[in-house]
Amino acid sequence: MKIANEIKNYQNVINGNRTHSSSGKQIDSIDPSTGNVWATIPCSTVEDAESAVLSARNAFEGWSSLSAIERADYLRRIGDLIVQHGEELAELETRDNGWVIRETSYGLIPSLASYWYDAAGATAVGSKGDTVQLGSTSVGYTLREPFGVIVGILPWNAPLFTFTVKAAYALAAGNTIIIKPSELASVSSLRYGELINEILPPGVLNVVSGDGVEVGSTLVSHPLVNRVSLTGSGATARSIAQSTAGNPKPMTFELGGKSPNIVFEDADLEKAAQGVTLNGIFTGNAGQLCTGGSRILIQRSIFEDMISKMKEVMTEYNKLGDPMHPESAMGPIANAIHYEKVCSYIELGKKEGGEIILGGRHGGQNLLPDSPHLSEGYWVEPTLIKVTSNSLRICQEEIFGPVATVIPFDTEEEAISMANDTAYGLGAGVWTTNLNRAHRMIRKLESGNVWVNTFRTVGPELPFGGHKSSGYGVDSVLEFTREKTCYIEIG
């Protein structure tokens, strides 16, 4: 493994201060495009985690006692600060997990600011209750109160986005929060925490990096932690549930997906071809997204025509390359462990009888021979695998990379059955010009999010959550409050 010329050391943020791990140990952060170490993060300990919890608990009373208007002012100022530091944050996110700079700069950063501004407006929503006249001499009302200390567990594929949706709405509701980023991609979150703490009172927001088993378990099971919000894998969710069994607390789980992207014969095929490829699975972060449309279902009458159009789109638009280059359309797999997993699924697809109709290669030396500095990076070519059955492992298991299966279907009923034939239920896409069909599909698809003639559109205007094994709950100001009922006799 090579070491970059300049290694920057990042630190935790606890009680408003940048702090090293109490053990003094660091974890290497690897640039996935090159395979080189480019930064280090704290390998935090149980003591560091407990320090963060105490910091958040001590800050809770002061933060929660602020009026909604006062909290909103803090959150708006954070949004302004994010815009000011957008270029730096975009570069850190790209360097840390390979998401191409043209998307982190022009799509991600403005989105982060908009969530902070929306959360500022939502502070009043989290402060409102209802009043009920129970009788001539009695009245009842409800209060919405913050839980207390929230722990937000982040994934490595989109740390800044998930950091934002958890922290912004938790803080809007009057909670304090501890963010635990993945040890595989913590740099952008640690710097984000530093910036936010230029605005917030000490202890309101803390960021602690380190091993999930030691640090994560300590945080979620701590008796002073009142709620947990995870974006991650089903395995992590099960581990959290087990570790909190002796001290139950509310949880929000946004987990994996195996989203179907369904194209009917009456669809606008040009638009659908881009939607199921560039927007659906062959994205700037190499298909490493929980909503990725990794099962492309195409009506048999247009199957070959649609495949041809998808190949044309990929040939024209999808360019692998250095994620820091503004013309690169797709970056690498975010880490070595996951790179091996994605490659193994491509081989599994062949063994299961799938036909690779696009891509299938991997490795920087094979895909980017003219860029020797990228030869050791974790590169996988956009890959389409044609299959005839949805029962194959590559159709049922989450690959989480630029790999999609293509499956023909004949009838609407068959498409629905195939789409729902998975343990997951996070996202689904429908491409049709038939309005009646669109509404039927929306009702029958077992998914928390359904997109019609578009895919992966998200924003603060609508909730985002999953069904089935894709989790439950959403990160919103109301989810971060609990309701208290009061009865008053006034006679």
Quick: pLDDT tens for 401-445.
999 999 999 999 999 999 999 999 999 999 999 999 999 999 999
Q: What is the pLDDT of residues 170-221, one digit of tens each?
A: 999 999 999 999 999 999 999 999 999 999 999 999 999 998 888 999 999 9
The residue assigned the tokens 């895909």 is 367
Query: What pTM, to 2 d.p., does this model score?
Result: 0.95
d(CA 483, CA 143): 6
Confidence of residue 1 (pLDDT cuts 50, 70, 90): very low
Q: Are 306 and 384 in contact (CB under 8 A)?
A: no
Euclidean distance between CA atoms 209 and 182, whole angstroms:
7
Task: Please state, in angstroms and as integers, the Cα–Cα distance from residue 424 to each residue in 22, 256, 466, following that order.
Answer: 40, 7, 8
Helix pair 68-84, 109-122: axis angle to 10 deg? 170
Binned at pLDDT 50, 70 and 90, residue 5 comes out as: low
Q: Which of 74, 140, 64, 228 is nearest to 490 (CA)?
A: 140
Using an 8 Å Cβ cutoff, are 401 and 345 in contact?
yes
Residues annotated as part of the active site: 180, 254, 290, 398
Give the pLDDT mean for 68-74.
98
Convert the pLDDT of each residue in 228-283 to its tens digit: 999 999 989 998 988 888 888 999 999 999 999 999 999 999 999 999 999 999 99
Residue 2 pLDDT > 60, yes or no? no
